[in-house]
Amino acid sequence: MINGSNIVIIGSSRGLGRETAKILCRQGHSLFCFSRDESSLETLKTECGRIFPGNPISVHAIDVMEVAGGSVNLLPLVQERFQKIDALLYNAGLLINKEFTGFKPAWINDIFQVNVIAAAAVIQQLLPLMGGKSPSHIVNTGSMGGVQGSVKFPGLSIYSASKAALATLSECLAMELSHLNIRVNCLALGSAQTEMLEEAFPGYQAPLSATDMAEYISHFVVHGHKHFNGKILPVAVSTP
Ligand SMILES: NC(=O)c1ccc[n+]([C@@H]2O[C@H](COP(=O)([O-])OP(=O)(O)OC[C@H]3O[C@@H](n4cnc5c(N)ncnc54)[C@H](OP(=O)(O)O)[C@@H]3O)[C@@H](O)[C@H]2O)c1
């Protein structure tokens, strides 16, 4: 992949996805960004238009739960803009910080829907636009909590389990999709200062800003497939 790659970002209205989108736009890549919050997506589009006037980004409001359930198909939307996807960043995530004893079954379902099932569904839907002569790179946004043997924290059992599932899905898909020239990796992130972190851990100060983390993510999305396939890569100086 070189400058001018076609990149799809799922979960880009705020936090790491939003910062990553801005960096990739500044670098001249073509973006299609999805999230639920339409007005934040429109603001992102306007900001990116200012950063790089000749490089308009496409945005579309979707709930990945509807992709997971099969009522929304991203393929026709993305196909209108891209003949080929060079990279797909699955960044949407749901974190509910509650001790396991009080965890409602509906929350367990929601977390797995957004963090795992929708990731698989999005990848399945967009497969026809990936791979071929040049490789495509799928990057799933995992968490240090989902890495076997990492420090664990009360309140994050379901979230961490979902991220472990996403990591294993990434390893398996790397093997199963390699004949299509599709590479799949999972970034197991440590903490970065975002709305999600602030909501889950009020008052906690992460060692990295969202922009710092997004700089790493954006570089990895474009270049990581040259060095890695089927890897779960810890990206952390600490975990909360
Ligand atoms: N920040 C950290 O310290 C940290 C650490 C480890 C891993 N991570 C992971 O990194 C990713 C980004 O985290 P963040 O801190 O930037 O979180 P965030 O601020 O909550 O942003 C999450 C993004 O996902 C989108 N999203 C959530 N549910 C969605 C749904 N049902 N359908 C479509 N989009 C949805 C949100 O947009 P809408 O609300 O507009 O839909 C938002 O753009 C997540 O996967 C998270 O688990 C973050």
- pLDDT tens per residue, range 195-222: 999 988 899 999 999 999 999 999 999 9
Q: For position 237, what pLDDT does the model report?
A: 84
Across the chain, what does the average pLDDT equal? 95
CA-closest residue to ligand 1 atom 3:
191
Tell me how far the alpha carbon of residue 56 lies from the centroid of ligand 1, in angstroms: 23
Confidence category of residue 2, pLDDT binned at 50, 70, 90: very low
Tens digits of residue pLDDT in 102-121: 999 999 999 999 999 999 99
Distance 179 CA to ligand 1 centre (A): 31
Q: Whose alpha carbon is nearest atom 36 of ligand 1?
A: 11
What's the average model confidence in pLDDT over 84-112? 97
Q: Which of 115, 211, 143, 131 is nearest to 174 (CA)?
A: 131
| pLDDT computed for residue 55 by the predictor | 78
The residues that bridge with 10 in the sheet, in sequence order, are: 34, 90
pLDDT at 120: 98
Q: Alpha carbon of 104 to those of 64, 116, 208, 229: distances in Å? A: 21, 18, 31, 36
Residues with CB under 6 A from ligand 1: 11-17, 35-37, 40, 63-65, 91-95, 114, 141, 143, 189, 191-192, 194-197, 206
pTM for the model stands at 0.97
Indicate if the pLDDT at residue 240 is higher than 70: no
The residues with which 59 forms a beta bridge, in sequence order, are: 33
Phi-psi region of 140 (alpha: psi -120 to 50; beta: other; left: phi over 0): beta
**Structural tokens at position 231:** 């890897």
Nearest Cα residue to 187 out of 158, 203, 208 = 208
**Among 89, 109, 196, which residue has the most ligand 1 atoms within 8 Å of its CB, making it the best to mutate?**
196
Closest ligand 1 atom to the C-alpha of 67? 32
Predicted local distance difference test score (pLDDT) of residue 87:
98
Q: How far is the CA of 73 from the centre of ligand 1 (A)?
A: 20
Q: Provide the angle, in degrees to the nearest 10, between the axes of the packed helices 210-223 and 15-26.
A: 60
| Atom number of ligand 1 nearest to Cα 189 | 6
